[in-house]
Amino acid sequence: MKNLIFQLLPLISYIGFTHGELYKPKNSIPCSTNKPCPAEWPCCSPYNECGAGPVCVGGCNVRSSFDEESCAPIPALVPTLKLEFASTPKIPKFIANYQPRPPIKEEHSPNKANAKVGVIEGELNSKRIIHYAKFLVTPDSKEAEKMLEDFDFTHSGYTSIEASSGNIVLAMPKKTTGSLVASTRSFLYGKASVRMKTARSRGVVTAFDLISAIGDEIDFEWLGGDPTMTQLNYYSQGMLDYTRMQRYPVGADTWSTYHNYEIDWDSERIIWYVDGRMARTVLKKDTWDPINKEYRYPQTPMRLEVAVWPGGSETNGPGTINWAGGLIDWENSPDIIKKGQFAAHVEQVTVTPYQNKFTEQVQYCLKAKKKAPTVSEKDLSKVIVSYKKQDKAIHYGEGSLLWDCYVTPRIKDWLSSGKQSK
């Protein structure tokens, strides 16, 4: 459900203005597989809007972009590497050299506001989290390589680090579109887990997803009006079939209590876990589509996302608002009254990739280009994956992937694309 709703949501920066004015057209251009983006705005975002620059990184939708080369190659997470966020110990691995752009409007003291934004971004950077509009957008390949070394996640919206715990706070102040943290690398099969507390209140949605650049997706979602349940679903190639959704009782309040949520995904099955209990299993063999003669099963590299967003926003359609539990009460909800925002808290994130049919190929690439019999962890961090040119009407799968190594993906500036950066 998140993938559908985020089509309606602008991407906002923490400091209170829309970066999209600079790397997206003034009038939004929607994109789909039937109507790909134009050459001047070549990249289709995960929210089905055309743009350039940062839009061409991360979740750039290959099928709906101008062509496959519009999107930058995807940094890959391969065995034996592991991606992890932990609230403690709070030891900075990276000292931020961040110069915040001034907000368009602040109520009282813009200088003080700028200082606060710089501190918040520095705290996020110290946790290996960078703003999505900055990640891999540089004319300098060395700087892009340093970003890949220093950052495991990107963020947007009202994201911060809680001083008392070191946890990630995904906030949604009054009348905003929420917050998102996403992994900088994608993986083809593996185990992803999040320990978190969800946001509460009617119409407020928290999500933990795995999602690929062509719309494969595996979800946990929580409706803020029912904090004892979670919803489990999966999608293939952007086909939003909500009939597959299943509800699962967590057994305790997900807002007041931390819980462990895990997705275990390989080439043949998906298993969802809640606090170590198996909540659901889907087998690939059971997803066969006899009409199109293909498996409706996620089988392309995924990145991890955790988000809070307004399913019950008055700007959404009636069906979405009804699914989210009703309209959000932006004035009288307890968390708005007490704290001025809804929020989810993330204590830990772990992604462990599995070996797949390309593992041997990746190892060969690394050894051949390095001209050495062994590879290091640093070598393994220099693997990328992209998509072959093919008929976009054809189902994308493992055979659509191209793997390479010792390539640093980047976008030169906010008006460039992956193709222009080569």
Whole-number Å distance between alpha carbons of 185 and 148: 9
Concerning whether 221 is annotated as a catalytic residue, the answer is yes
Residue of 49, 217, 262, 347 marked active site: 217
Residue of 121, 221, 262, 347 marked active site: 221
Hey, what amino acid is at 259? Answer: H
pLDDT in tens, 262-317: 999 999 999 999 999 999 999 999 999 999 899 999 999 999 999 999 999 999 99
What are the DSSP E strand ranges found in 36-136?
A: 43-44, 50-51, 74-75, 83-86, 129-131
Buried b (16+ CB within 10 A) or exposed e, 102-131: eeeebeeeeeebbebbeebbbbbbbbbbbb
Provide the pLDDT for residue 217: 96
Location of structure tokens 């990328």: 384
Q: List the chain domain ranges.
A: 9-76+358-405, 83-353
Concerning whether 217 is annotated as a catalytic residue, the answer is yes
Provide the pLDDT for residue 333: 97
CATH for 83-353 is: 2.60.120.200
Whole-number Å distance between alpha carbons of 305 and 370: 33
Higher pLDDT, residue 338 or 419: 338
- Torsions phi, psi of 74, nearest 5? -95, 125
Across residues 242-268, what is the average pLDDT? 95
pLDDT in tens, 129-188: 999 999 999 999 999 999 999 999 999 999 999 999 999 999 999 999 999 999 999 999
Q: Judge whether 206 and 221 are in contact, CB under 8 Å.
A: yes
